[in-house]
């Protein structure tokens, strides 16, 4: 599903960023652009990032 409509970032893309080494929401933002425009997706993006980092 799309998490970030501004930047077209999916939950899959966030998990992929974590698999590729991102370890924090800030790093996911840097790698995907998620949450860098209107910021509405930040809460969901952070949750998915946290889950993905914990299951690594």
Residues that bind ligand FES (CB under 6 A): 4-7, 34-41
Alpha-carbon gap, residue 42 to 28, rounded angstroms: 11
Pick the closer one to ligand FES by CB: 10 or 36. Answer: 36
Contact 16, 1 (CB under 8 A): no
Q: How near is the Cβ of 32 to ligand FES at its closest, in Å? A: 10
**Minimum CB distance to ligand FES, residue 9 (Å):** 7
Structure tokens at 26: 């800030």
Phi, psi of 10 (to 5 degrees): -95, 165
Q: Shortest approach of ligand FES to residue 45 CB, angstroms?
A: 7
């Amino acid at each position: 599903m799309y998490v970030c409509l501004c930047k077209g970032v999916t939950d899959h893309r966030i998990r992929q960023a974590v698999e590729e080494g991102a370890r924090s929401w800030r790093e996911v933002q840097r790698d995907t652009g998620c949450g860098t425009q209107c910021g509405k997706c930040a809460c969901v993006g952070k949750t998915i990032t946290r889950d993905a980092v914990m299951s690594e």
